[in-house]
Structure 1
Amino acid sequence: MKNYLNIFILIVSYFFILLFVYAGISKILDFENFQVQIGQSPLLSSYAGIVSYSVIISELFIAFLLIFSQYRIIGLYGSLGIMTSFTIYIYLILNYSEFIPCSCGGILEKLGWEEHLIFNVCCVVAAAVSIFILEHVRKHWIKTLVSVTIMIILNCALVMILFFSSEQMIKKGNSFVRRFPHHLIIKEKSLDLKVNSYYFAGVSEGKIILGNYTNPMIITEVDPSMNNYRKQMIKLDNYDHGFKFLKLYVQGSEFYLADGTVPIIYRGTIKSHYAETVSYKKFYFDQIAVIDSVKIAFRTFNPKTMVRSLGILNTASGKYELNPNIIQKQKDGIFDTDGYLIADNQTDQYYYNYFYRNVITSADADQLFSSQHTIDTTSIAKVQSKMMTNGKIKMNAPPVMVNKMGTAVNGFLFNQSNLMGKYENRNQWKTNSIIDIYNTNNKSYRGSFYIQNKGDDKLIQMFATYEYFYTLIGNEIIRYRYAQAFASDLRKGNAENLTLE
């Protein structure tokens, strides 16, 4: 009987040696990909660096201990501990994770998460039984039971601590680790627009409204079925204002045409396609965001502070007010404050996201504002500029762009990032644009997804609504639908308890 027990211990030990050596070497040979997988884990994202190294070292060290009979009991305790950690990790993935990632590769590549859980439980049992058999010689039953129990509890507690702290760090204190839930958006339909000069102006009665850079007097309405589109010519009450760069904006049933170099703002209705002047030569601006039927946010240069400033125009009264505190100067006040201004499609909020630093500023029609950080770590704009003899400021070197463009709906901001995060695949960056989602209601990061390029054509612009996410790539407008759970929370405007498919 004793011989059979010894054979069982040897089989278990050699099995763990084979498992851990194979797993450890596989991770070393493909270490970058292993770190990427850990970085995308919904439980361990924030600790991908230390976990990736510690797992490999632990597996190889335990395998080394199991080789020698005098250290085998220590190796079996180590096997029990690490397999317990893997088991509780999978249990948390299946029951408490916001999304279920791809299964691991290597020797268990063909196993699903449930099968993997069963395999790990069997390994835990085998290690525990082997420990009891070895300790049977010493008759230390109570001591062995306590030791095995403590080992299991400690490893379960360790993984759970990593899980809860990682979740908090990812959402609130992220150090540039992205999370990619699977199928967050799913491509549904596309429509060939024939040319690539279109841009999103807004949405009206379920129709996506496009403007055209080469012909600013045309409104293009894309049918909700995404099968066709139609163009309508805009008529103005006055064509003598000498505009140079008119841009179209849509809010509900109304549209606006604006050119900040004149400066001029027209307003009309989608049905009539006729626009009247609502603001002329009141203030110069380079960006606007239509908040509602009365108020428009705009960006201008404030001669008093010598810095870009945001303001609100009341089209009903014709009055406007600047707030010099929303945009914050770091260096020159020109390049370091540059960014994009967008309106929320469903609220009276508008957002200013800096191009060269990790700050999103949310504001409302009353100019009450607050800020949150994007997940990258670029807190100081990496721009170099100098004052010329003519008084103008010019850049000395190309800046490091952090954020490129965005769209927002019901408190969620979709931001196209220009930086690669930790533990990400470089090949993905060559063929995709990356979009990060932020919940501005609770100031948290909610996840990321890729928008794939079409050959040499990259993402031109994006637009989010309650129902769909749209992109312009090359000559095409493409519609994506959200994962069901995310779509539900998007409509609520609160994703604190978001569960992604």
Structure 2
Amino acid sequence: MKKVPAFLTDLTAYFYILLFFYASISKIMDFENFQVQIGQSPLLSAYAGMVSYGVILLELLIVGCLSLSKFRLAGLYASTALMCAFTVYIYLILNYSDFVPCSCGGILEKLGWREHLVFNIGCVILGCIAVLCSASAKKILIRRTAVLLISAVFSVVAVLILFLSSEYIIRKENNFTRRFLTNFLLEPEIITTLDKDAYFAGISRDTLYLGYRSTPLLLTSVHLKTHAISTFRIYPDLGEHRFKNLRIAVRYPFYYLYDGTVPIIYRGGIGQRRPEVISYQNAYFSQLAVLDSTSFALRTQSSTTHAFTLAQLDFKQLPMLKLYPKALQPQLDGIFDLDGQLVANYGSSGSAVYAYAYRNQFIVINDRFKNIRRQQTIDQNKKAAVQTLRLSNGDYKMKSPPLKVNDAVSAFGNYVFIVSEIRGKYEPVSIHKNRKTIDVYDTLLNEYAGSFYIPEKKIDEVLATDGRILILHNQTLTQYKFRKSFR
């Protein structure tokens, strides 16, 4: 009778040797892909570097123990504990993950996650039987049972700790490990082809508004469901003003015509061809975001330091213009290092976002400047990589091209969408050749929400709404709908 348990123990050991040796060698041969898979794991993303090396070393160590009869029992304990950890990991993936990633690969790459779970449970049971059946006395049986229970509890607790801490790090203290939202976008829908100088003017429910830099008095509306397009011309009283860059912004039910080089803002109702002047000589500015019908967020320049400054123009308060000099924090010259994009939040009245172009931060403006706060993006570029040269006349000029971090940006409700120019950890170079990455941030929870790819080499502008994101690229307007809402 003693030969049967011994035979079972040896057979189980050989099975584990084959399983772990093949698994470890497969990981080593395709290590980059294995590390990418761990990096995209919804549970272990923050520890991809440590886990990718640790799992391989542990599997090889177990193979060594199982191969030597002196250490075979220890190897069986470790094998059972490791398979228990893998089982808990898969259970968490299936029940507590936002998405289910691709298979782990290796000898079981054809199995689905649920089949993998059943296989792992079977391995745990087999390991327990092999350890317990070879016990020659009751005391040994009790001792081995205790060791199995302790090792199982340890492995379960270890996976749970990694899971919980990884979630916190990824969302709150991200070390530039992206979590891609699998199958998040539906098939792209090309709506129309536009002139090369088109830009997003605004959106209201299912109607998108477009302006044109070369024909600044034309406003186009596009119905996103029927794709119906209509254009009407605006006839403002331009007077003797010498405009350089007239633009249109829409915040339904009004449109606004402005050029910050001339301190004037027009407003008209949608469909009204002759807008009225609502602001004159109140402020010069370089960017404008409409907060509501009487309030605007501006990017202007300080008259004393000449640095970029955020400001609010509000017709309901005195003085109407209020500067917020501490909102933008200079690192170098106060101009190039503070460059960025100011956009209105179309999902929240009185809100806007300013995203720095060359550093990992954006500024959230809520309640018409009553609440201003900063939030980090997940890349590690805390300081703008900008080299400037001060000329004799006091002006600054760039000495070399800067490292751009955040490109196009859009805000809707509690979420900010940023086209990132930087490749994250564990992301192959090949995957970035013909696509752009959009990172999503939750401003309510002050955390990173996830990322997704857009299959375009270049993105000119993005505009997100509840349930879709619109892309301007290569004179084409494309709509991507989300499979599920962020809310």
After TM superposition, the score normalised by the length of structure 2 is 0.95
- Aligned residue for 1:380? 383
SS of match in other structure, 2:60: helix
Give structure 1 regions of 4+ aligned residues with deviation exceeding 6 angstroms.
none
- Aligned residue for 1:94? 94
Distance in 1 (CA, whole Å) between partners of 2:381 and 2:188 is: 35
Q: Which runs of 5+ in 1 are unaligned?
A: 490-501
- Aligned residue for 1:110? 110
- Aligned residue for 1:299? 299
Contact kept in structure 2, 1:238 and 1:277, CA below 8 Å: no
Deviation at 1:19, TM superposition (A): 1.2
- Aligned residue for 2:330? 329
Deviation at 1:391, TM superposition (A): 1.1
Is 1:435 the counterpart of 2:438? The answer is yes
Distance in 2 (CA, whole Å) between partners of 1:315 and 1:247 is: 21
Q: Which of 349, 352, 364 in structure 2 is aligned with 1:350?
A: 352
Q: Given residue 41 of structure 1, which amino acid in structure 2 is its aligned partner?
A: S
Contact kept in structure 2, 1:189 and 1:478, CA below 8 Å: yes
SS of match in other structure, 2:460: strand
- Aligned residue for 1:241? 241
SS of match in other structure, 2:292: coil
Distance in 2 (CA, whole Å) between partners of 1:402 and 1:467 is: 26
Select between 440-449 and 396-405 the one with higher mean Cα deviation.
396-405
Distance in 2 (CA, whole Å) between partners of 1:35 and 1:360 is: 30
- Aligned residue for 1:495? none
Distance in 2 (CA, whole Å) between partners of 1:103 and 1:205 is: 39
Q: Which of 362, 365, 370 in structure 2 is aligned with 1:363?
A: 365
Is 1:252 the counterpart of 2:265? The answer is no
State the Cα RMSD in Å: 1.7
SS of match in other structure, 1:186: coil
Deviation at 1:226, TM superposition (A): 4.5
Q: Closer, same or farther in 2 for the Cα pair 1:239/1:21, shift >3 Å?
A: farther
Q: Given residue 292 of structure 1, which amino acid in structure 2 is its aligned partner?
A: D
Q: Deviations over 1:283-342 (max 9, x none)?
A: 221111011111011101102233210111124679211111111111111111111111
Select between 389-398 and 407-416 the one with higher mean Cα deviation.
389-398
Select between 278-287 and 408-417 the one with higher mean Cα deviation.
278-287
Contact kept in structure 2, 1:340 and 1:354, CA below 8 Å: yes
- Aligned residue for 1:419? 422
- Aligned residue for 1:313? 313
Deviation at 1:274, TM superposition (A): 2.7
Deviation at 1:204, TM superposition (A): 2.9
- Aligned residue for 2:177? 177
Distance in 1 (CA, whole Å) between partners of 2:428 and 2:443 is: 28
Q: Deviations over 1:120-169 (max 9, x none)?
A: 01111111111113333795011011000001000000000101111111
Distance in 1 (CA, whole Å) between partners of 2:192 and 2:255 is: 24
Q: Deviations over 1:239-272 (max 9, x none)?
A: 5311111111110111112111223322112122
Distance in 1 (CA, whole Å) between partners of 2:399 and 2:238 is: 42
SS of match in other structure, 1:123: helix
Q: Given residue 355 of structure 1, which amino acid in structure 2 is its aligned partner?
A: A
- Aligned residue for 2:287? 287
Q: Given residue 176 of structure 1, which amino acid in structure 2 is its aligned partner?
A: F
Distance in 2 (CA, whole Å) between partners of 1:386 and 1:482 is: 45
Contact kept in structure 1, 2:343 and 2:353, CA below 8 Å: yes
Contact kept in structure 2, 1:468 and 1:482, CA below 8 Å: yes
Contact kept in structure 1, 2:408 and 2:460, CA below 8 Å: no
Deviation at 1:194, TM superposition (A): 4.4
- Aligned residue for 1:403? 406
- Aligned residue for 2:192? 192
Q: Which runs of 5+ in 2 are unaligned?
A: none
Q: Given residue 204 of structure 2, which amino acid in structure 1 is its aligned partner?
A: S
Contact kept in structure 1, 2:190 and 2:477, CA below 8 Å: yes
Deviation at 1:177, TM superposition (A): 1.0
Distance in 1 (CA, whole Å) between partners of 2:313 and 2:198 is: 27
Q: Equivalences for 1:111-150 in 2 at 5 Å? A: 111-136=111-136, 140-150=140-150
Q: Given residue 233 of structure 2, which amino acid in structure 1 is its aligned partner?
A: M
Q: Given residue 195 of structure 2, which amino acid in structure 1 is its aligned partner?
A: V
Distance in 1 (CA, whole Å) between partners of 2:93 and 2:79 is: 21
Q: Deviations over 1:473-498 (max 9, x none)?
A: 223211122232x34x1xxxxxxxxx
Select between 50-59 and 194-203 the one with higher mean Cα deviation.
194-203
- Aligned residue for 1:157? 157
Contact kept in structure 2, 1:238 and 1:276, CA below 8 Å: no
Distance in 2 (CA, whole Å) between partners of 1:345 and 1:258 is: 19
Distance in 1 (CA, whole Å) between partners of 2:315 and 2:219 is: 22
Distance in 1 (CA, whole Å) between partners of 2:204 and 2:176 is: 36
Distance in 2 (CA, whole Å) between partners of 1:40 and 1:452 is: 19
Contact kept in structure 2, 1:201 and 1:210, CA below 8 Å: yes
Distance in 2 (CA, whole Å) between partners of 1:205 and 1:80 is: 55
Q: Deviations over 1:413-446 (max 9, x none)?
A: 1111111111112212111111111111121111
Q: Given residue 428 of structure 2, which amino acid in structure 1 is its aligned partner?
A: N
Deviation at 1:61, TM superposition (A): 1.2
Deviation at 1:389, TM superposition (A): 1.1
SS of match in other structure, 1:236: coil
Distance in 2 (CA, whole Å) between partners of 1:136 and 1:349 is: 73
Distance in 1 (CA, whole Å) between partners of 2:397 and 2:411 is: 31
Contact kept in structure 2, 1:294 and 1:315, CA below 8 Å: yes
Distance in 2 (CA, whole Å) between partners of 1:387 and 1:478 is: 42
Distance in 2 (CA, whole Å) between partners of 1:353 and 1:372 is: 10
Distance in 2 (CA, whole Å) between partners of 1:223 and 1:271 is: 15
SS of match in other structure, 2:336: coil
Select between 470-479 and 438-447 the one with higher mean Cα deviation.
470-479
Q: Given residue 39 of structure 2, which amino acid in structure 1 is its aligned partner?
A: G
Distance in 2 (CA, whole Å) between partners of 1:389 and 1:44 is: 54
What percent identity do the matched residue pairs reach? 41
Q: Given residue 385 of structure 2, which amino acid in structure 1 is its aligned partner?
A: K
Q: Which of 441, 444, 455 in structure 2 is aligned with 1:452?
A: 455
- Aligned residue for 2:474? 474
Contact kept in structure 2, 1:243 and 1:259, CA below 8 Å: yes
Distance in 2 (CA, whole Å) between partners of 1:136 and 1:96 is: 42
Deviation at 1:187, TM superposition (A): 3.0
SS of match in other structure, 1:17: helix
SS of match in other structure, 1:87: helix
Aligned residue-pair number: 484
- Aligned residue for 1:499? none
Q: Closer, same or farther in 2 for the Cα pair 1:205/1:180, shift >3 Å?
A: closer
Distance in 1 (CA, whole Å) between partners of 2:468 and 2:285 is: 31
After TM superposition, the score normalised by the length of structure 1 is 0.93
Deviation at 1:205, TM superposition (A): 5.0
